[in-house]
Each structure stands twice: as structure tokens, then as C-alpha cells.
């Protein structure tokens, strides 16, 4: 058999401290933004209209922050998670420079932790992944951990090493877009009157709307990100797997939850950090997603009296409206919950 193809890395192929340079630079365009809108229904004004974004100091409407996340994430898949069983979580994510049409994205990852699982069939790989534009500016810097199959269950495993990760990104570490100024922020055009001052820690918001995940749309979204994970594409192989069918990419669930959050958080115009997140349960084509959010914290940002940080926890549930706020039930989650995401957003102040 030819050795020119790459089966991807298995757990025993990773080495602590190694750096992985990911292939395929990607120049993004307005077409990416339009297709992302079509696939998610996102309605945030700053990503939808050049004049609105320019009034705030952006060069033009930036691509959605989670679209930038998915493009960077997708580049890491062939080297990190092509043989994954599941993506387990995120932490310490900081969004940097806005991503504009015409920018070119590259990515690299560092292996920051390894731990064989007790079944000896899989191991958990921790990577710090970074995305950059053509000027070398950081677009995104985050840690994720993923369960990866072993090629040989008998292969020796390295001594376990699990990185110490913060519970949340400190507000002082949030990076605001250069030249950001919110004097020209038009709340009527944005779609809601509420700003940073109108939210309180502990408040819960039912985003009301639901959206059904379609097989074709999910596949198209995953291709848009050049995410080659087998569990999302290969129905033939996944028919023999644990669920008997393809899984919906968890990032697509994140994007749909963010899009749903517009109803109640329309003025959360930028995602600034990803504190943590869990894909609690899998999603499949035909599931209908609902979402609710809790305000975990608020932060004034030094030198920026016109904008504040809002720390949110967004929970997505499938086939279960969120008026009752489905959540943890002791040590386990309500059976409908599929996503639990903790992140900072930027929002205009009074």
C-alpha cells in the first residue's frame, strides 16, 4: 500500500511540548460571511453592515467571531483530532484582531498535555491553538482537549501531564479592537435597547426561538471550516460507530446557540473570550436547538467607559424549549442539554 496518504495522528503519536504547523492558509472573503449567515441565521449588526461597523471604529464589518474560531479550529483537525472520539472542552480563549474579508488565516498548535484514559483504548490530548492573519496578528488563542483513539492499545503511554487552566479569562486580558469607540452605536439598528448597565449577575434569559439542524446544512458548515473529522462526514464508517450515524460538529452547535442568543442579547456585539465549554451530549440531524443564557459577571474595562464586559453562560438544549432553564441535576445534566459555554462579550454602556 502507498505511504503517501496520512491516516492522522493517534494518541501515541503526540509528544508533550511539540509544535504543529497546520496546512492550508485560508484567505477569507465576503462569500464566507454570507454563507455563514445562511447556515446560522446570525443577526448581529456589527457583522452584517459595513456602515454600522465603521461607526464603531472597525475598518468594515468583521467576520463573525465564531466563524474565525471555526476556521482556525478546522485547520487543527487533520493534525490533532482526525482520529478523535469526542472534543471535550475549551479554556483560556482570547479573541484578538478582528478578521476581515481579504485576510489570510494560518494556524499552529502546541501540545500542552497528555493523559491516557483508563480503558487504554484512548487518551486525552491538550493543545494550545493559535490563529494569525497575514500580518502576524493574533486572531485567536485558546486551549482545547480532545479524546483521541490509540492505534495500539498496548502502546506505552507517557506520564500523565494535565495543564493548569484558569477558570476564566481575566477582564484585564480582554483585547478590544483598535480604535473602538461606541459613541456612534445605534441600538435601534442593532435590534435592542438594553446595554451593559441593564444586565445583572444571576439574571437568566430564555432566548425563546428554536432552530432545527439539517443534515445538508451541517455538512456544508463543516466543509466551510475545512474540518475533516470523520465523525462529521463519513456516514458509512460512522454507521459502525457508537451512535450508528454522523455527529453534528459541536462548533456548529455553538454558532447556532450564539445566533439564538440575539433575542435577548442583541447588543453583545463581539465575543471577547472563551472561558470554558463542554459539549455535554451529541447532536444529530433533525434535532431542534433552543438556548438560554445566564449573566455570570460584569466587568468595567479600564480606559473604556463606553463599553463593558459581560460574562455569559449559554446552555443549549435539544428538542426542549428553555423556559424552564434546563441545567445540571446534581452531578449530571438535564438529558436535553447538549452545550454549556462560558464566554465574555463586549456590550455598549449607557
**Residue boundaries of the structural domains of the chain:** 16-153+186-348
User: Which residues have C-beta within 8 Å of that of residue 198, sequence separation ≥ 6?
Assistant: none
Superfamily of domain 16-153+186-348: Hotdog Thioesterase (3.10.129.10)
Give per-residue burial for 63-89: e unless 16+ CB within 10 Å, then b.
Answer: bbbbbbbbbbbbbbbbbbbbbbbbbbb
Is pLDDT above 80 for 59?
yes
C-alpha cell at 28: 477569507
291: enclosing H helix or E strand:
strand 288-301
Name the pLDDT band for 200 (thresholds 50, 70, 90).
Answer: very high
Work out the mean pLDDT of the chain and round it to a whole number.
Answer: 93
User: Among 260, 313, 254, which residue's Cα sits nearest to residue 41?
Assistant: 260
Rounded percentage of the chain residues whose pLDDT exceeds 90 = 79
User: Which residues have C-beta within 8 Å of that of residue 241, sequence separation ≥ 6?
Assistant: 231
Ramachandran quadrant class, 224 (left: phi over 0; alpha: psi -120 to 50; beta: rest): alpha
pLDDT tens-place string over residues 218-231: 889 989 998 877 77
User: Among 132, 223, 130, 155, which residue's Cα sits nearest to residue 9?
Assistant: 155
Give pLDDT, residue 1. Answer: 54
Give pLDDT, residue 239. Answer: 66
Amino acid at each position: 500500500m502507498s505511504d503517501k496518504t496520512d491516516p492522522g495522528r493517534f494518541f501515541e503519536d503526540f509528544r508533550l511540548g511539540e509544535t504543529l504547523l497546520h496546512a492550508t492558509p485560508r484567505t477569507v472573503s465576503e462569500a464566507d460571511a454570507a454563507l455563514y449567515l445562511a447556515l446560522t441565521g446570525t443577526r448581529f449588526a456589527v457583522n452584517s453592515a459595513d456602515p454600522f461597523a465603521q461607526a464603531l471604529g472597525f475598518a468594515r464589518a468583521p467576520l463573525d467571531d465564531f466563524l474565525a474560531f471555526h476556521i482556525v479550529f478546522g485547520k487543527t483537525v487533520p493534525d490533532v483530532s482526525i482520529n478523535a472520539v469526542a472534543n471535550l472542552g475549551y479554556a483560556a480563549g482570547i479573541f484578538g484582531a478582528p478578521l476581515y474579508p481579504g485576510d489570510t488565516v494560518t494556524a499552529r498548535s502546541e501540545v500542552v498535555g497528555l493523559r491516557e484514559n483508563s480503558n487504554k483504548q484512548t487518551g486525552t490530548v491538550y493543545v494550545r491553538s493559535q490563529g494569525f492573519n497575514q500580518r502576524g496578528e493574533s486572531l485567536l488563542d485558546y486551549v482545547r482537549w480532545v479524546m483521541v483513539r490509540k492505534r495500539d492499545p498496548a502502546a506505552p503511554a507517557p506520564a500523565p501531564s494535565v495543564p493548569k487552566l484558569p477558570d476564566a479569562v481575566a477582564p484585564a486580558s480582554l483585547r478590544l479592537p483598535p480604535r473602538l469607540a461606541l459613541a456612534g452605536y445605534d441600538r435601534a439598528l442593532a435590534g435592542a435597547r438594553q446595554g451593559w448597565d441593564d444586565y445583572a449577575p444571576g439574571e437568566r434569559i430564555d432566548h425563546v426561538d428554536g432552530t432545527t439542524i439539517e443534515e445538508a446544512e451541517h455538512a456544508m458548515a463543516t466543509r466551510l471550516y475545512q474540518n475533516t473529522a470523520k465523525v462529521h462526514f463519513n456516514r458509512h464508517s460512522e454507521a459502525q460507530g457508537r451512535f450508528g450515524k454522523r455527529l453534528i460538529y459541536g462548533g456548529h452547535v455553538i454558532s447556532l446557540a450564539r445566533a439564538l442568543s440575539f433575542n435577548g442579547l442583541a447588543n453583545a456585539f463581539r465575543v471577547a473570550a472563551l472561558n470554558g465549554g463542554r459539549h455535554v451530549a451529541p447532536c444529530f440531524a433533525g434535532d431542534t436547538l433552543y438556548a438560554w443564557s445566564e449573566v455570570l459577571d460584569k466587568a468595567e474595562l479600564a480606559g473604556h467607559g463606553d463599553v463593558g464586559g459581560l460574562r455569559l453562560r449559554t446552555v443549549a438544549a435539544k428538542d426542549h424549549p428553555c423556559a424552564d432553564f434546563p441545567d445540571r441535576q446534581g452531578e449530571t445534566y438535564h438529558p436535553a442539554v447538549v452545550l454549556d459555554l462560558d464566554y465574555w462579550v463586549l456590550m455598549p454602556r449607557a
